[in-house]
Amino acid sequence: WRPAVVLDHKGFGDRESFDAAVVRQLRDDQVDLVVLAGFMRIVTSTLIQAFRNRIINIHPSLLPAFPGIDAQRRALDAGVRIAGCTVHIVDEGVDSGAILGQAAVPVLRSDDVASLSARILEAEHLLLPAVVRAIAEQKLDLDAARPALNHDLDAAPEAMLSSVRTEGAA
């Protein structure tokens, strides 16, 4: 086991060859779960197929609303009153995999992209470890058709909201 390995995508000719190298490294290190947090690259089917239902991502919106980039700006532009984050299984689509957990935060009248993003990030820092813990403790069946229905994280969003400032909510 190694504490860290760096694979620079710039050293590879294309995404497929980079993802193939990632797969080799993950298999060499006997990785059971791949967590994409801040990994701003779309992964190829090479990686997805090698770790089917074993790659999770955190996204700064309440999916299926606002997949892809600029989710916080699009939430503000749409005038939503509740935003949040989602942990989901990575599939071949963009932010389209099965939802494992979500946390909601209020959108405040005074919000801009930076302030909303910061509040969502606080929720992400609570939600992602809770979902990973549920997976490690086998409370989530990642192979189920709707895995989020099989866990007891239902109380987590309420607990998260209590730790995220809500004063001035619209």
Instruction: List active site positions.
Output: 59
Q: How many CB atoms lie within 10 A of CB 163?
A: 10
Residue 129 CA, chain-centre distance (Å), reads: 11
Q: How many CA atoms lie within 13 A of 95 on its CB side?
A: 21
Helix axis angle, 71-78 relative to 113-136, nearest 10°? 120
Helix (H, G, I), strand (E, B) or coil at 144: coil
Residue 50 φ/ψ, nearest 5 degrees = -70, -30
Identity of the residue numbered 77: D
Tokens of 19: 């993802």
Q: Which residues pair with 105 in a beta bridge?
A: 83
